[in-house]
Amino acid sequence: MTIAAHKFMKQDLMAFEGRVKEAFLAQQIHAPVHLSGGNERDVLELFKQIRPHDWVFSTWRNHYHALLKGIPAEELFQAILEGRSMYIVSKEHKFICSSIVGGILPIACGVALGAQRRGLDERVWVFCGDMAAETGIFLEAVKYAGRHKLPVTWVIEDNGVSTNTPTQEVWGQKGYYWPRITPEHIGRAYGADVRCYKYERIFPHTGVGQWVTFG
């Protein structure tokens, strides 16, 4: 377990995002921010398994992951104020994120491959959204990691939407890929560690103005 995961409780995570929300509404942040909320219990449980020397890859919604990986709260908050909410990277804390959908997935495979070849006891934990999990790059990355037995755990954080677009409406069906086939099934088929949890987000995606669907 990371050292930070010992310190934080659900209310601590929620308070941090509340602080970011107030700063955004006060126009102290002049860049996009994407807030977590509603998934505190799941994230805290997952980080009990993540060690200090493991890598964590995240998305544009990364504040909880960054805090639990050990990036100091004030350092993270300052980065957010400077407009770097979606680009939090720390070599010291082995933390990388990207605002590109699926952009971190092949990079995570590369880091895991490097650790494997060097004989390092490091695991790569990759967090992505449910829309990213529907893309081709996700399947390719999971297949590559599984077949090469890379030390990667894939975690899909499923809130049902990408920005404000309902994920399954885009693909015209309920469930992943095929009826009753889940990401965990895909992972097992390739010998990869794929996990998924569902939650209902608390904070809306700001600045869109309207719902976008492809129905």
Mean pLDDT of 96-123: 96
Q: Would you place residue 50 in the very low, low, confident or very high pLDDT band (cuts 50, 70, 90)?
A: very high
Q: What pLDDT is stored for residue 182 in this prediction?
A: 72
Q: What pLDDT is stored for residue 161 in this prediction?
A: 80
Q: What pLDDT is stored for residue 162 in this prediction?
A: 77
Task: Please report whether residue 214 resides in a domain.
Answer: no
The 10s digit of each residue's pLDDT in 130-156 is 989 988 999 999 999 999 999 999 999
Q: What pLDDT is stored for residue 181 in this prediction?
A: 60
Q: What's the CATH code of the domain at 191?
A: 3.40.50.970
CA–CA separation, 49 vs 85, rounded Å? 25
Number of separate domains in the chain: 1
Mean pLDDT of 98-126: 96
Task: Please report whether residue 205 resides in a domain.
Answer: no
Task: Please report whether residue 25 resides in a domain.
Answer: yes
**What is the distance of C-alpha 186 from the center of its chain?**
19
Q: Is the pLDDT of residue 67 over 90?
A: yes
Asked whether the beta carbons of 171 and 181 are under 8 A apart, the reply is no
Q: What is the pTM of this model?
A: 0.89
Domain range for residue 132? Answer: 3-198
Mean pLDDT of 187-195: 88
Mean pLDDT of 65-83: 96
Mean pLDDT of 37-44: 95
Task: Name which of 126, 137, 105 is nearest 196 in CA terms.
Answer: 126
Task: Please report whether residue 151 resides in a domain.
Answer: yes
